[in-house]
Amino acid sequence: MSEALKPGARIGILGGGQLGRMLSVAAARLGFATHIYEPGANPPAGQVADRVTTAGYDDAEALAEFAASVDVITYEFENIPTEALDILEAHRPIRPGREALRVSQDRLTEKSFLRDLGLMTAPFADVTDLASLEAAIARNGTPAILKTRRFGYDGKGQVRLKTPEDAPAALADMAGAPAILEGFVDFTHEVSVIAARGLDGQVACFDPGENVHRDGILHTTTVPARLSAAQRTDAVLLAARILNALDYVGVMGVELFVTPAGLIVNEIAPRVHNSGHWTQNGCAVDQFEQHIRAVAGWPLGDGQRHADVVMENLIGADMDRVPELARERDLALHLYGKAEVKPGRKMGHVNRIQRNG
Amino acid sequence: MSEALKPGARIGILGGGQLGRMLSVAAARLGFATHIYEPGANPPAGQVADRVTTAGYDDAEALAEFAASVDVITYEFENIPTEALDILEAHRPIRPGREALRVSQDRLTEKSFLRDLGLMTAPFADVTDLASLEAAIARNGTPAILKTRRFGYDGKGQVRLKTPEDAPAALADMAGAPAILEGFVDFTHEVSVIAARGLDGQVACFDPGENVHRDGILHTTTVPARLSAAQRTDAVLLAARILNALDYVGVMGVELFVTPAGLIVNEIAPRVHNSGHWTQNGCAVDQFEQHIRAVAGWPLGDGQRHADVVMENLIGADMDRVPELARERDLALHLYGKAEVKPGRKMGHVNRIQRNG
């Protein structure tokens, strides 16, 4: 732990949502103080952070002051403007590093990176105009999904094409944004691997979780996932290959489609991930602490779980169920302190601990 | 949950040490914002709280403002001046209530209360001068311990008397403070019950933990404790009797000596307790969340554990062991963010999760 931050050091977190909030709590548990940088007022993470800076990513002065006040910088989301990163990096290390952000900020770059690593992805093609879209459809067929290359999350910025005739309308929906056409993958279920890599190159993976989505948003993650021993090994090796290729430091979420032909990488997120929330009640070191350990140069937890867990997201009006959930045995509530309930908004999650016997 | 606070409500916590810090994190997990009141600058709890007021317990204006800003008030320590409580209570409910504080702030009142409930305690006697001390020694013998009636913790304010001849020197050590002489109890080991009572009178106990002290400070708590089924039942019934008698709302730590003649109550603490820290990694709802649930009028967790745990305190220079502890498997680190390491100072704790098989 020669390069390791000592308790008392300060960790800067870009983004004040629920992920920043849970990172902040994990950092505190290791004796670190956190400083949140967030453009929006009253961010959920601010309630459990030592300091909060409310400023935009175009505020060079605020960014520089923030960077100078901390020992290392990390983030809860990948769409941080390059110019902001340039300013921050002049002062303090950013972990995970720039390469991970560059790759994951753009679906086309990400898919190309994964393919070049020898990993399987959905068929994909760059779409710049109607001609390139029609050529992609001719090659990969329909149904297919047209997605913006950047700034998509939770199913936003996506249009499904049922037939080739849907092409013009789908392209219009992109409103001129660079896009990528992805072919459909015939998968039995989706799993994700929450993988971590330390400053010393050590890699540790949590047990894969099985994900179920509703309306394009993660609904539940169940651990253990339905996977054969061979698939489990494949999932871990594949995740390690991605982390090593990026010289990655921190936690990454790797979403995988399980198919008869093998595991297909759906997408990667260079941060703690919703499908890793189960680790809070299943592991001695959860994904949030694992991430903080990595960016602080500490040894990683080994990722082994001591309990099976089913995580369920609380979205929008699910908040009305809190009184009833609070009565449920072996259930751990995790609410995000968001002032306003909105449809589709992630308000919290619960972890149901599966008691053996 | 008709009287229950809703997520978004504010919980005021008197005291900004590690207990306030872990209460604050637990409150955040339920969607509450916390406001810490603490005379000392830069309290550990402040790093994970929404608001901090730095002011003394004699600052009537600050107390009133604090109280008005929150929905309910709780505390991490029992020695809150009565005048401060009067001001606070004029604005908002204080939970646990005044009666619990009155009883536990004074060793003589506490022991008398327990005896009047029909519970066993160490032999004790009020000491106001040398004559009453000598009379107490004549009645209960030596060895014995002379303790200040108020403001003692972690072995402070205590003198051991080996023989009757130690009386004058021991009394001088009290420096005129009201005192109590406690006889020695011949016990095999000490256990504690972390008990909780909700606003509706519901009682829930965590499994008793077995405590080992070093230099008058808690060293380890091991769960499960060595107790027979009958002793376990006794411990829970006894704790419930105390909570019900006080119409208590919140978590209480009840320390018990295990003797061949039965369980003897050593002392009670009207708050979350060091010997309950193991619950953070053994239970879906830990003692901190249990306390917050009680004071917020929520249903309690059932207290059942899903893992065996050994908690070890990190005192003073134990902080040097953190790099090594961070490498240990199945170990959860909990550091308190205290800037300065001092001998005898509680800096953190670890929970070792006992994997079955």
- Sequence-distant (≥ 6) Cβ neighbours of residue A254 within 8 angstroms: A192, A193, A194, A195, A235, A238, A239, A242, A265, A268
**8 Å CB contact between B61 and B41:** no
- DSSP structure string for A181-218: EEE----SEEEEEEEEE-TTS-EEEPPPEEEEEETTEE
* Cα A83 from Cα A85, distance rounded (Å): 5
Backbone angles phi, psi at A204, to 5 degrees: -140, 135
In terms of domains, do A154 and A295 share one? Answer: no
Encoding tokens for residue A356?
Answer: 């053996």
In terms of domains, do A169 and A309 share one? Answer: no
How many Cα neighbours within 13 Å face the side chain of A177?
A: 20
Residues of B with Cβ-Cβ distance to A323 under 8 angstroms: 1, 4
C-beta neighbour count of B24 within 10 angstroms: 33
Q: Identify whether B251 is part of a domain.
A: yes
In terms of domains, do A281 and A267 share one? Answer: yes
Q: How many domains does chain B have?
A: 3
* Cα A265 from Cα B78, distance rounded (Å): 55
**Enclosing H/E stretch for B25:** helix B18-29
Q: What is the arithmetic mean of pLDDT over B209-217?
A: 95
What is the domain extent for residue B263?
189-354
In terms of domains, do B43 and B153 share one? Answer: no
**8 Å CB contact between B255 and B266:** yes
Domain harbouring A131, CATH code: 3.30.1490.20
The CA–CA distances, whole Å, from A137 to A29, A110, A142 equal: 51, 20, 6
Q: What is the pLDDT along chain A (357 residues), one digit of tens a residue?
A: 458 999 999 999 999 999 999 999 999 999 999 999 999 999 999 999 999 999 999 999 999 999 999 999 999 999 999 999 999 999 999 999 999 999 999 999 999 999 999 999 999 999 999 999 999 999 999 999 999 998 766 667 889 999 999 999 999 999 888 999 999 999 999 999 999 999 999 999 999 999 999 998 999 999 999 999 999 999 999 999 999 999 999 999 999 999 999 999 999 999 999 999 999 999 999 999 999 999 999 999 999 999 999 999 999 999 999 999 999 999 999 999 998 999 999 999 999 998 764
Tell me the CA end-to-end span of chain B in Å, nearest whole number.
Answer: 41
| DSSP 8-state class, residue A176 | T
Cα angle B353-B355-B357, degrees, rounded to a multiple of 5:
165
Residues of B with Cβ-Cβ distance to A48 under 8 angstroms: 24-25, 28, 48-50
Tell me which chain A residue has its CA closest to the CA of residue B283: A330
| Amino acid letter for position A284 | A
Measure A351 CA to nearest chain B CA, in Å: 9
**8 Å CB contact between A245 and A314:** no
- At B2 the pLDDT is 53
Here the ipTM equals 0.93
**8 Å CB contact between A167 and A189:** no
* Cα B101 from Cα B105, distance rounded (Å): 6
Confidence label for B1 from pLDDT (cuts 50, 70 and 90)? very low
In terms of domains, do A168 and A199 share one? Answer: no
In terms of domains, do A199 and A346 share one? Answer: yes
DSSP alpha helices (H): ranges in chain A? 18-29, 60-68, 82-89, 98-104, 107-116, 130-140, 167-173, 229-245, 279-282, 287-295, 322-325
Q: Identify whether A3 is part of a domain.
A: no
Q: Identify whether A114 is part of a domain.
A: no
Contact with chain B for residue A323, Cβ under 8 A:
yes
Residues of A with Cβ-Cβ distance to B48 under 8 angstroms: 24-25, 28, 48-50
In terms of domains, do B86 and B142 share one? Answer: no
Contact with chain B for residue A357, Cβ under 8 A:
no
Encoding tokens for residue B146?
Answer: 């002379």
* Cα A242 from Cα A253, distance rounded (Å): 11
Q: Mean pLDDT score of chain B, rounded to an integer?
A: 95
**8 Å CB contact between A305 and A148:** no
Compare CB distances from A47 to B28, B306, B327 and report the shortest one's residue: B28
Beta strands B72-75 and B10-14: pairing type? parallel
In terms of domains, do A301 and A208 share one? Answer: yes
Range 89-148 of A in CB contact (< 8 A) with B: none
A215 annotated as belonging to a binding site for a ligand: no
Encoding tokens for residue A155?
Answer: 């199913």
Which is higher by pLDDT, A43 or B151?
A: A43
In terms of domains, do A333 and A207 share one? Answer: yes
Beta carbons of A28 and B1 less than 8 Å apart: no
Q: What is the arithmetic mean of pLDDT over B146-156?
A: 79
- At A3 the pLDDT is 82
The residue to which tokens 């505190």 are assigned: A28
Q: What is the arithmetic mean of pLDDT over B221-240?
A: 97
Domain harbouring B229, CATH code: 3.30.470.20
In terms of domains, do B228 and B90 share one? Answer: no
- At A5 the pLDDT is 97
Does B53 score more than 70 pLDDT?
Answer: yes
Domain harbouring A53, CATH code: 3.40.50.20
Q: What is the arithmetic mean of pLDDT over B278-306?
A: 96
In terms of domains, do B202 and B236 share one? Answer: yes
- At B357 the pLDDT is 40
Confidence label for B157 from pLDDT (cuts 50, 70 and 90)? confident
Which is higher by pLDDT, B174 or A223?
A: A223
* Cα B87 from Cα A299, distance rounded (Å): 49
Tell me which chain B residue has its CA closest to the CA of residue A30: B335
In terms of domains, do A236 and A308 share one? Answer: yes
- DSSP structure string for B195-207: EEE-TTS-EEEPP
- At B266 the pLDDT is 95
Encoding tokens for residue B142?
Answer: 């030596």
